[in-house]
Amino acid sequence: MFRSPFMRRLPALLLALAAAPVAAQTARPKLEVLIVVDQMRPDYFDRYGTEFTGGLARFLRSGVVFTNGFQDHALTETAPGHATLLSGRPPASTGIFANDPGVVDSASVLVPASATRGRMWPGSSPRRFRGTGLYDWLLARDSASRVLAVSRKDRSAILPVGRARGNVFWFAGGVFTTSSWYSDSVPSWLYAWNMRGGPAALTGKQWGLFRDPATYAEADSMSYENAEFGERDFTFPHMLPADTGRMLLKLRDYPWMDSLIFDVALEGVRGTGVGRREGTDLLVVSLSTTDAIGHDYGPDSRELHDQLLRLDHWLGWFLDSLAVLVPREGTVFALTSDHGVQPFPERTGTGGRVSFKAMAQRTAQEYLARYDIPIGVTWDLGFITADLAALRARGVEVDSLSDALAREALTMPGVDRVFTPRTLARAPAGDETARLWRRTIPPQQDWLIAATSKPGWIWVDAPGWTEHGTTQRVDMHVPIIFMGTGLTPRRVTRKVTTEDIGPTFAALAGVRPTEPVSGRVLPEIAPPR
């Protein structure tokens, strides 16, 4: 190990780094690390930054912090957000415009990941993702480049990598696994990790406060929180079920899920050797628990505050542990998010809840009754799609149907603007909302209406949880922070987007996107040579 080519070259590399001007990244990184905190809003750093002592603190204090970073599209959800991060392109170009259908793929079945849990889960793959991303660009120069991506969610592990095969793992049925898109088995290191039963050891565990209760300013007992499906669990401590099967289904809503992601990622760095070759490798760690807790308790809750303190702690441990495996000098990081989140309308007293569920379901039933065809009407937030070819085949005037749905939508409280395919095509170039929808909807995608909500209105038909997915600033505004050797801590206030991260990582690695991208190389991170 100590005789690896990298270690033998290390003294020379360190001398070269010491001699280099501090503002420029001189050596190509061995490992580019993307850390995604699902649903992380930048204002959490403002609120809790002084309390962070671990990994989030390190990004905040040692990183180049872009304070005006955005997911620059309309359906601010996990799948489209993650697909922008390393592709350099918006959802209209990646083809991943919403969570559904996203990565669902029954042809790519989940592989058996351990001998203990055989439950079948729907398969997942990047089959709908179009074009290339950072990992493809790295492979184009060096076919030996390696990738490791780990998340609780399938879409969050898959989409930053793109279509390429690689080490892409997510949590399903109590174990970490992959799908037949990538492999017909899990690697031995992951099999061994699963067999150790780490998740099951959390059965019955109690989630209490991480720090002294006096240091939490938020009220704990807010009865509008976490009331989905009739649950009434909104005060500390929260208890994981004493039954392991039920606990594994609830674990996603508890902070420890993120610690498992970090642990699998580190085990994977050991097992795959990413970052320990000549050349540049890619590591993606996407953490989903902030999203789950944010949905349940909201961005202003004591629970979210506690989750961020724990995430900060574990991220610090992860960064220290990673540095043992891959020298810090060879590593460059970006931390970002796939979207933000809205406060509970019940907390703010403004806005409310609005949903197209009833309208979409009624429309589907009407056409089934009238024409005996399932027209595949589905809705996701403010977006309604259908099988337009099936409608046209029965002589249905699709534009009239769109217009009728748009008129009905505009009668609902909280609905701000509604586009149909015709009105979006006619909208002027300076129309900001139209611009966001054009960046969201792939040209070949069938759709009926695309709506935006008024400030404070969320696309949720039931109480008890909150949501993201709108074009409001709290949903689009995300942290973008780079950290690594040669980067001097600073704040950058100009507007940037998550599409800039992939091309910037590419420039640091000395490769270029192999197709046109909308994202731009951030000169604060990768100055023109």
Kindly identify the residues of this chain, within the stretch 405-464, that bind Zn ion according to CB under 5 A. none
What is the smallest separation between the CB atom of 286 and Zn ion, expressed in angstroms? 12
Which H or E run contains 285? strand 281-287
Residue 521 — left, alpha, or beta (φ > 0 → left; ψ -120 to 50 → alpha)?
beta
Beta strands in 442-501 (DSSP E): 449-453, 457-458, 477-484, 490-497
Kindly identify the residues of this chain, within the stretch 9-38, that bind Zn ion according to CB under 5 A. none
What is the smallest separation between the CB atom of 422 and Zn ion, expressed in angstroms? 31
What is the smallest separation between the CB atom of 39 and Zn ion, expressed in angstroms? 5
Look at residues 466, 473, 77, 478 and name the one whose alpha carbon lies nearest to residue 298.
466
Residue nearest to Zn ion (CB): 291
For Zn ion, the closer CB: 253 or 291: 291
Residue corresponding to tokens 């024409």 = 371
Kindly identify the residues of this chain, within the stretch 89-108, that bind Zn ion according to CB under 5 A. none
What is the smallest separation between the CB atom of 339 and Zn ion, expressed in angstroms? 7
Residue corresponding to tokens 């008129």 = 407
What is the smallest separation between the CB atom of 63 and Zn ion, expressed in angstroms? 25
What is the smallest separation between the CB atom of 469 and Zn ion, expressed in angstroms? 8
Stretch that binds Zn ion, among 197-205, 218-226, 283-291, 353-361 (CB under 5 A): 283-291
Contact 496, 522 (CB under 8 A): yes
Binding status of residue 338 toward Zn ion by CB under 5 A: no
Stretch that binds Zn ion, among 192-200, 290-298, 327-335, 511-519 (CB under 5 A): 290-298
Stretch that binds Zn ion, among 81-89, 123-131, 284-292, 429-437 (CB under 5 A): 284-292
Stretch that binds Zn ion, among 106-114, 289-297, 351-359, 453-461 (CB under 5 A): 289-297
For Zn ion, the closer CB: 172 or 377: 172
Contact 34, 336 (CB under 8 A): yes
Stretch that binds Zn ion, among 90-98, 252-260, 287-295, 328-336 (CB under 5 A): 287-295
- Between 112 and 131, how does the x/- string for binding to Zn ion read (CB under 5 A)? --------------------
- Between 130 and 169, how does the x/- string for binding to Zn ion read (CB under 5 A)? ----------------------------------------
Kindly identify the residues of this chain, within the stretch 462-491, that bind Zn ion according to CB under 5 A. none
Grouping H, G, I as helix, E, B as strand and the rest as coil, residue 466 is: coil
For Zn ion, the closer CB: 263 or 291: 291
What is the smallest separation between the CB atom of 256 and Zn ion, expressed in angstroms? 19
For Zn ion, the closer CB: 193 or 459: 459
Contact 151, 260 (CB under 8 A): no
What is the smallest separation between the CB atom of 238 and Zn ion, expressed in angstroms? 19
Beta strands in 337-461 (DSSP E): 352-353, 378-380, 383-385, 415-419, 449-453, 457-458
| Residues facing 272 on adjacent strands | none
Contact 300, 466 (CB under 8 A): no
Beta pairing class for 457-458 and 352-353? parallel
102 Cβ neighbours under 8 A, 6+ residues apart: 79, 96, 128, 155, 159
Look at residues 465, 456, 467 and name the one whose alpha carbon lies nearest to residue 416.
456
Of residues 72, 154, 291, 300, which one binds Zn ion by CB under 5 A? 291
Helix ranges (H only) for 397-500 are: 398-410, 421-426, 432-438, 473-476
Structure-token pair, residue 50: 């002084």
What is the smallest separation between the CB atom of 341 and Zn ion, expressed in angstroms? 7
The site for Zn ion, by CB under 5 A, has a size of 1
- Torsions phi, psi for 277 (to 5 deg): -125, 175
- Between 174 and 213, how does the x/- string for binding to Zn ion read (CB under 5 A)? ----------------------------------------
352 Cβ neighbours under 8 A, 6+ residues apart: 345, 413, 414, 456, 457, 458
Grouping H, G, I as helix, E, B as strand and the rest as coil, residue 446 is: coil
Beta strands in 403-520 (DSSP E): 415-419, 449-453, 457-458, 477-484, 490-497
Look at residues 509, 526, 510 and name the one whose alpha carbon lies nearest to residue 30.
509
Stretch that binds Zn ion, among 114-122, 148-156, 291-299, 374-382 (CB under 5 A): 291-299
Structure-token pair, residue 285: 């760690």
What is the smallest separation between the CB atom of 171 and Zn ion, expressed in angstroms? 16
Stretch that binds Zn ion, among 288-296, 302-310, 491-499, 501-509 (CB under 5 A): 288-296
Stretch that binds Zn ion, among 285-293, 348-356, 357-365, 395-403 (CB under 5 A): 285-293
For Zn ion, the closer CB: 174 or 340: 340
Kindly give the interhelix angle for 289-297 and 256-272, rounded to the nearest 10 degrees: 170
What is the smallest separation between the CB atom of 471 and Zn ion, expressed in angstroms? 16
Q: How many whole angstroms from its chain centre is CA 64?
A: 21
What is the smallest separation between the CB atom of 35 and Zn ion, expressed in angstroms? 17
Look at residues 171, 86, 99 and name the one whose alpha carbon lies nearest to residue 128.
99
What is the smallest separation between the CB atom of 459 and Zn ion, expressed in angstroms? 12
What is the smallest separation between the CB atom of 99 and Zn ion, expressed in angstroms? 8
Which H or E run contains 34? strand 31-37
Rg (CA), the chain: 23
For Zn ion, the closer CB: 281 or 291: 291
Structure-token pair, residue 267: 């085990």
For Zn ion, the closer CB: 341 or 415: 341
Binding site for Zn ion (CB under 5 A): 291
